[in-house]
Amino acid sequence: MGHLDHAAFGLLTPVLSYAMAVIGAALGLRCTVRALSATGRSRRNWLITAASAIGTGIWTMHFVAMLGFAVRGTDIRYNVPLTILSLVVAVLVVGAGVFCVGYGRNRPVALLIGGLSTGLGVASMHYLGMAVLRLHGTVRYDPLLVALSVAIAVVAATAALWAALNIKSPVAVAVASLVMGAAVSSMHYTGMLAVGVDVASAEGHLPGATAMQFIFPLAVGLGSYLFVTAAFVALSPTAGESAAYFTAEQATDLGPETTGKPHQNIAHA
């Protein structure tokens, strides 16, 4: 059995991956809050942004953490198509949960269905992300720890969607995002503790790309997307701010002579 190192670069990858999970959660929660106060196309667009932010944050968290994963006695490569598929899965399953909450008429039922589907989807993304590994040996899993990681994913997803429905203030969203980031990270490292590798002969060529060739540039690109989107959301007005601005514009267009004065009818003889 090969020795597994989950933090080959020390605390750098765990801390950075946690930060990615927190940013994705915070951005997704803020977008969901905006969506619930919007209607029509605006609601749909905010929900799409929320799904892409949370899904991208979870995926980036996973693969940034995987940059610190090493197995003594073998190199590690990544299957490129499967890695991209895991990103698509992450965004789609989170989108299913977010849209379920965003458009569900029965909030408790929508929360349960959305949390279950999103949690199972996040767990599927994690283990699909593990399936992309190419190394000299056989990967095996502890079934109990796998089940525990799936349970953590479902609870974390349900808690995140509940927060989106019930938490409105920026400070509360920030606290919820820190908790959500910790939950997602816990799910990841619980899943990684379930992993064992039986190393075989290290001879022969490993297919796929190295982490620095593929995972690192993609993670940096997606991390940049999260930061840019976060800036856009922070600078865009809320529904209340837009309504207040529209009201102020209407008052300006009416002019000072019409404000505060009753309308007078002039009768002509």
Q: What is the overall mean pLDDT for the chain? A: 81
Q: Which residue has the tokens 């974390």?
A: 156
- Which residues, including other chains, have CB under 8 Å from residue 150's CB and lie 6 or more apart? 119, 120, 123
Task: Check whether 261 has a pLDDT greater than 80.
Answer: no
CA 250 to chain CA mean position, Å: 39
CA distance 73 to 170: 47
User: What is the structure's pLDDT at 269?
Assistant: 40
CA distance 157 to 136: 34
Nearest CA among 7, 22, 68 for reference residue 185 = 22
Per residue in 13-63, pLDDT (tens digit) is 899 999 988 888 888 888 888 888 888 888 999 899 888 888 888 888 998
User: What is the structure's pLDDT at 2?
Assistant: 62
DSSP 254: H
Q: Which residue has the tokens 């999970």?
A: 21
CA 200 to chain CA mean position, Å: 36
Per residue in 197-248, pLDDT (tens digit) is 888 876 667 888 887 887 778 878 887 888 787 777 766 755 554 554 445 4
Q: Which residue has the tokens 């849209």?
A: 99
Kindly compute the dihedral angle of the four CA atoms of residues 11, 15, 115, 239, in this order, to the nearest 10 degrees: 180
Q: How far is CA 61 from CA 4, 16, 80, 148, 222, in A?
A: 19, 8, 17, 19, 10
State the amino acid at position 51 in one-letter form: A
Nearest CA among 126, 150, 130, 16 for reference residue 71 = 130
Per residue in 137-169, pLDDT (tens digit) is 888 999 999 999 999 989 988 888 888 778 777
Structure tokens at 53: 């932010």
Structure tokens at 31: 């977008």
Nearest CA among 102, 48, 15, 89 for reference residue 233 = 48
CA distance 202 to 171: 51
Q: Which residue has the tokens 């991208």?
A: 56
The confidence band for 115, taking pLDDT boundaries of 50, 70 and 90, is: confident
User: What is the structure's pLDDT at 266?
Assistant: 44
